[in-house]
Chains A and B, each alone.
Chain A
Amino acid sequence: MSDNETGNGSSAHPSRRAFLRGAAAAGAGALTATGANAATPDPLITEVQPWAQAFGEGVDETPYGMPIKFEDDVVRRNVEWLTADTVSSINFTPIHALDGTITPQGCAFERHHSGAIELRKEDYRLMINGLVDTPLVFTYADLERFPRENHVYFCECAANTGMEWAGAQLNGAQFTHGMIHNMEYTGVPLRTLLEEAGLDTAGDLKDKWVFVEGADASSNGRSIPMEKALDDVLVAFKANGEALRKEHGYPVRLVVPGWEGNMWVKWIRRIEVTDQAIESREETSKYTDVLDNGIARKWTWAMDAKSVVTSPSPQAPITHGKGPLVVTGLAWSGRGAITRVDVSKDGGMTWETARLAKPGEKMALTRFYLDTDWDGSEMMLQSRAMDDTGYVQPTKAQLREVRGLNSIYHNNCIQTWLVRSNGEAENVEVS
């Protein structure tokens, strides 16, 4: 391909003059006060720009696209000191930079216990055994022949916000609340597969369990009560329209609506019907919540109502000065649908009810907006979610009063961002 300015016009090689003009215009724009009149014409308007003159990329350039390079800060990040190594670790969704509710798969958080494994559809097998009439083996192709359903659900790690129990620790919504993603799943109800194997052998289903485990070395085995298994659990193979990403369980994962992310077993290879909980490592040593008196709660499956302001936030400061300001964030509940989100600018002294972009959906992320006028004074921004059970998101003090400081998991406290008059924000706790 020709590489001269009029031939290719690739934005990778803008002329130096155009670049300088662009930089000058950007500088001028930054100094322009809201609603003010321009003193001089904007060269981005008055002068023909390369993209308005020459060609962009052809349709054969990018068979599968990535975000434009200007968005290269919208990425997963990890916190090195959190874990002993990166293979049994966590990273964080850049929720501070996203909007709406659907998480792009490419920046949706990962949590592995023995790394993201590569498992071909041809090599995939799913076994159902235990107290079933006929133990079965399914191939991937078999799964695609069962009737499918589509549902949008959030997957939140039980440890999301866990580093904040003892105080304000990490400076950014991505790090404090980013162990979460929200996707539209396509899959087969677990109930369908259990019925294919037959549950007559199991007898009374009330006291039965399913034990699910993955194909990876960690296996991540978890026990799920039969009632939930037969209710809304999905064996999913598509997310946001396409195959699961490798790091999210390709080709098949479990989707457990409203419940802690650990139970969303990836690379799922076996489902066993049992007459007792297995009490595996991931439901004894881990994912149990120590209270002040040293006694621990177990089987704390549901994720309670929670919310966070994603912008403004430490990674998303206000750069436009006083005037119209969009305060936005996410709310969700594992026990139902979000019905209301309140926002406070003064650390919880007074509250305004925000606008939900769409009515809340059960066990899915809900986007809220507070369209407001910022006078430039310091704010202590908070959000407080309510779900359709009537539950109101608690403060950190309320949670600590019941649980102490050592439960690690299930921190759904109200988050405070201190927004300074210069527009910068930081993670704080308030009285």
Chain B
Amino acid sequence: SPAMAEKFGLGRAALPAEIAAWDGDVSPDGTGLPVGSGDAIDGEEIFADQCAACHGDFAEGIDNWPKLAGGAGTLDHEDPLKTVGSYWPYLSTTYDYIKRSMPYGNAGTLSDDEVYAIVAYILYSNDLIDDDFVLSNETFFDVEMPNAGGFILDDRAETEYAQWTGAPCMENCKDSAVKVTMRAMVLDVTPQEEGEAPKAEPA
């Protein structure tokens, strides 16, 4: 135990106002949620003003910008769409992240109530609440996140390490002659620069 550790007497005590200014994280159990509320109707307006330029009017995403809604039931598909509705396990993360880091380029400028309203609008866009549902620190856990059970702890120790440990093959390691099955050249999406080595001839 570090209980007896030597102290150097460096630094100073953090003041409550300083801790309050910087410690805004919200845990899955709601620890850190501020008192406040907002609904999707208010949220729609704030979202249109603050978020829709990148994330679309319906949180569906524009161009390469993240989609915040949709993708339900696609996680086991060839091309899963991971959104707040389809993928995020905890609503606390949505509140925490928006409050601290959004809008992109103008982070930390939203009030607590505005964040509640925006989160409500994102939930509504994912068909997870009705438009008159008031999201607050008290109703926060009335919302069920569809993928809350969709995560497992790192299991590589059980599923990978044992089978990939030991003396590796050194000779005659393949059943048949080795063939090229895929080439990056075919896709041709690598940045090219003047004076770079010419491309290889097609096989």
Q: Which residue of A lies closest to B198 (CB)?
A: A424
Q: Which residue of B lies closest to A351 (CB)?
A: B170
**Is the CB–CB distance between B184 and A279 below 8 Å?**
no
Does B181 touch A at the CB level, under 8 Å? yes
Q: Which residue of B lies closest to A172 (CB)?
A: B190
B196 — which chain A residues lie within 8 A by C-beta?
315
Interface string of A408-431 (1 = CB under 8 A from B): 000000000010101011111111
**Residue tally, chain B, CB below 8 Å to A:** 89
**Which of A114, A168, A172, A292 is close to B76, meaning CB atoms less than 8 Å apart?**
A292
The answer for the CA separation of A136 and B64 in the assembled complex, in Å, is 41
- With A81-B189, A145-B10 known as contacts, the answer to whether A428 contacts B156 (CB < 8 A) is no
**Is the CB–CB distance between A77 and B101 below 8 Å?**
no
The answer for the CA separation of A81 and B76 in the assembled complex, in Å, is 25
**Is the CB–CB distance between B97 and A280 below 8 Å?**
yes
**Which of A317, A394, A418 is close to B164, meaning CB atoms less than 8 Å apart?**
A394
The answer for the CA separation of A78 and B152 in the assembled complex, in Å, is 33
**Is the CB–CB distance between B173 and A348 below 8 Å?**
yes
* B104-156 interface (Cβ within 8 A of A): 104-105, 107-108, 150-156
B80 — which chain A residues lie within 8 A by C-beta?
290, 294, 406
**Which of B2, B12, B105, B160 counts the most chain A CB atoms within 10 A?**
B2
User: Dominant SS at the A interface?
Assistant: loop
Q: How large is the interface on A (under 10, 10 to 19, 20 to 34, 35 or more residues)?
A: 35 or more
Interface string of B158-183 (1 = CB under 8 A from A): 01110011101111111010111111
B182 — which chain A residues lie within 8 A by C-beta?
167-168, 428-429
A25 — which chain B residues lie within 8 A by C-beta?
none
**Is the CB–CB distance between B168 and A384 below 8 Å?**
yes
The answer for the CA separation of A363 and B156 in the assembled complex, in Å, is 18
- With A127-B18, A280-B97, A402-B160 known as contacts, the answer to whether A349 contacts B172 (CB < 8 A) is yes
User: Dominant SS at the B interface?
Assistant: loop
Q: Which residue of B lies closest to A431 (CB)?
A: B179
* A257-306 interface (Cβ within 8 A of B): 269-270, 272, 274, 276-281, 284-285, 288, 290, 292-302, 304
**Is the CB–CB distance between A79 and B197 below 8 Å?**
no
The answer for the CA separation of A273 and B17 in the assembled complex, in Å, is 18
**Is the CB–CB distance between B178 and A424 below 8 Å?**
no
**Is the CB–CB distance between B82 and A290 below 8 Å?**
yes
**Is the CB–CB distance between B23 and A270 below 8 Å?**
yes
What's the nearest-Cβ distance from chain B to residue A337, in Å? 15
Q: Which residue of A lies closest to B169 (CB)?
A: A351
**Is the CB–CB distance between A170 and B189 below 8 Å?**
yes
The answer for the CA separation of A430 and B174 in the assembled complex, in Å, is 11
Q: Which residue of A lies closest to B26 (CB)?
A: A278
**Which of A88, A139, A290 counts the most chain B CB atoms within 10 A?**
A290
A73 — which chain B residues lie within 8 A by C-beta?
193, 195
The answer for the CA separation of A349 and B177 in the assembled complex, in Å, is 8
What's the nearest-Cβ distance from chain A to residue B64, in Å? 4
Q: Which residues of A contact B (CB under 8 A)?
A: 73, 77-81, 83-84, 87-88, 113-114, 127-130, 134-139, 142, 145-146, 167-172, 175, 191-192, 194-200, 205, 211, 213, 217-219, 221, 230, 269-270, 272, 274, 276-281, 284-285, 288, 290, 292-302, 304, 314-315, 317, 342, 346-351, 380, 384, 386, 389-394, 398, 402, 405-406, 418, 420, 422, 424-431
Chain A to chain B contacts (Cβ below 8 Å), 26 pairs: A78-B191, A81-B189, A134-B13, A135-B13, A137-B12, A139-B11, A167-B187, A168-B182, A211-B25, A276-B27, A284-B88, A285-B87, A290-B82, A293-B76, A315-B197, A342-B168, A351-B169, A351-B173, A389-B165, A391-B161, A391-B164, A418-B183, A422-B200, A428-B184, A430-B180, A431-B178
